[in-house]
Amino acid sequence: MPAPLPLSIETELREFEVLSNPLLNKGTAFTEAERDELHLHGFLPPSIQTLEEQVARRLEALRALGSDLDRYVMLRDLQDSNETLFYALLTQNIEEMLPLIYTPTVGAGCQRFSHLYRRPRGLFLSYPYKHLIRQILAHPHFDAVEAIVVTDGERILGLGDQGAGGMGIPIGKLALYVACSGLNPRTTLPIMLDVGTDNPDCLADPLYVGWRHQRVRGAEYDAFIEEFVSAVRERWPHVLLQWEDFAKHNANRLLGTYRDDLCTFNDDIQGTAAVATGTLLAAINVTGVALTEQRIAVVGAGSAGCGIAALIHRALVEAGLSPAEADRRFWLVDRQGLLVEGMPSAVGLESFQQRFVQPAGAIADWSPRNSDRIDLFDVMRHARPTVLIGVSGQRGAFTEEAVREMARHVAQPVIFPLSNPTANSEARPADLLAWTAGRAIVGTGSPFEPVERDGRPYKIDQTNNSYIFPGVGLAAVALKIRTIPDSLFMAAAKALAAISPARANPRGNLLPPVSDLRRVSYSVALAVGLRAFHEGLLGESMTLDQIEACIRAHVWEPRYPILRHVAPD
């Protein structure tokens, strides 16, 4: 198939104005004709280079830097100056770039955001200016927006409240949307809802760029969110709105409020659940233990942990268990221990946590080590789970004694320490393999160094949401899906499991390599689109045959357009 012809774009901009526009700037790749027409001679070196040559130069400079944070800063600068080059660099080197533009490095980027801030990207919608939200969104610059990632910065990864520094998360997530699934960067919009911060370090920092105020909460917070959502709905009726890194007490509540009225989802709840479920479905092909025989322990009973449990619960029911039978397969452990009726850990729980509280009778014959709580070791000793998932944000939460106890009862324990960034992981893969005599099947949320397996280096699967949310978003945007129920995330999880290398080779990885994320995202998008079609969720009428063509046509490739100057009206 011949390469597609370059897109031609007409612009009124010339000279510094075109060089300062990251969506139009081509740097040294402007052709002779473009330099003539756009008056660029003298502003650029005379050598005309290809995009591939520019990528090689940026890659050399990037690798020469001394730290990942320096590399993160360089990439953010490149994104703000030349987006085509930025995304060409990402898509051609996605495995190397992913840890730099997102976890784990983005955590440090958020912590240092105010000190690294250089130029505007996205929108800061601050509480004192809530009356201006509609006016801000109405700017013509945002006419093409199709996908929004929004945060209020209160629960950034495992780092907690980062205030306005949380903007690094929507910027990074949308970069992954473009690099992994091909959304057009012109159609993406990161938004920070600045309702203040309770982080004393931010409030005391003289360079802090956010609203220097304690967090707004309660009815005032809800009214602000409603004003934002209603303004978004009016401005872009078919936009995808992704909630990111909201605290537990808001994340599920906001999702429940708006999920039936908007094309919206929360990646921390649903994306994390889908990648964990998809990886588990891949793992059972290796262990040979049927899904209906699995017993699941989850450390961290917040939004992410309960979201994972809820989607795996759905998978168990689809596999043949009754809902009541599936309920008893989950053992959720929080900071106060196992969630059990009548225990302190079960007091004051959110509604989404209540469904996973074990009845008192389930532990009647247990002999816990502590009188006031049941810890992870007790769960391993008595419940004997086959699967252990961590979303606690607590480094070392998977203790050696608990993992060794798990391995005493399970031939091939499935263990997923998913907390980000790397420093907050519940355990290191090398330790998990050592404690289980090499029998554990491990997937992590952040990247780790390879381990030795069968005498050779073996790359641990990064059970990262980037396997799921870009494909879900691509389908939602391309097909104008009206709402995103959990059934679509189940379709995404099954699509991921279906392309697991371990299906053909039990000694292979559970997930495709990160370098294949564009292929993975397309497979996920197609599965989600087909499920949405059968559930009547598509925003426009189309046949099954048209779904694949519509998704494929929506994939943007980082190639320079031909720029032509037009005189302003």
pLDDT tens-digit map of 228-253:
999 999 999 999 999 999 998 899 99
Residue 49 sits at the vertex; the CA angle it makes with 518 and 93, to the nearest 5 degrees, is: 25
- 518 Cβ neighbours under 8 A, 6+ residues apart: 91, 94, 180, 181, 182
pLDDT of residue 307: 95
Give the pairing of strands 263-266 and 8-11: unpaired
- 7 DSSP assignment: P
Average pLDDT, the chain: 95
pLDDT of residue 345: 67
Whether residue 26 has pLDDT greater than 90: yes
Per the DSSP assignment, residues forming a β-bridge with 340 are 358
**CA distance linking residue 176 with residue 244, whole number of Å:** 14
Two tokens, residue 541:
């009428």
Closest CA to 260 of 26, 517, 537, 552: 537
pLDDT of residue 422: 87
pLDDT of residue 6: 62
Q: Look up residue 356 and give its amino acid.
A: F
- 251 Cβ neighbours under 8 A, 6+ residues apart: 155, 243, 266, 268, 269, 303
Whether residue 8 has pLDDT greater than 60: yes
The residues assigned a catalytic role are 102, 173
Whole-number Cα distances in Å, 379 to 279, 355, 358, 438 = 23, 18, 12, 22
Looking up tokens 């043949």 gives: 320
Q: How many CA atoms lie within 13 A of 108 on its CB side?
A: 14
Mean pLDDT of 260-270: 96
pLDDT of residue 2: 41
CA gyration radius, the chain: 24
Mean pLDDT of 73-92: 98
**CA distance linking residue 278 with residue 389, whole number of Å:** 13
pLDDT of residue 456: 86
Whether the link from the prior residue into 22 is cis, omega within 30° of 0, is no
Q: How many CA atoms lie within 13 A of 290 on its CB side?
A: 8
Whether residue 4 has pLDDT greater than 60: no
pLDDT of residue 1: 35
Closest CA to 460 of 418, 497, 493: 418
The torsion angles phi and psi of 150, rounded to 5 degrees, stand at: -130, 145
Closest CA to 392 of 410, 368, 375: 375
- B/e letters for 351-379, b = 16+ CB within 10 Å, e = fewer, are ebbeebbbeeebbeeeebeeeebbbbbbb
pLDDT of residue 259: 96
Mean pLDDT of 31-56: 97
Two tokens, residue 377:
């070791």
The torsion angles phi and psi of 9, rounded to 5 degrees, stand at: -125, 135
- pTM score: 0.93
- 133 Cβ neighbours under 8 A, 6+ residues apart: 125, 227, 228, 231
**CA distance linking residue 474 with residue 481, whole number of Å:** 10
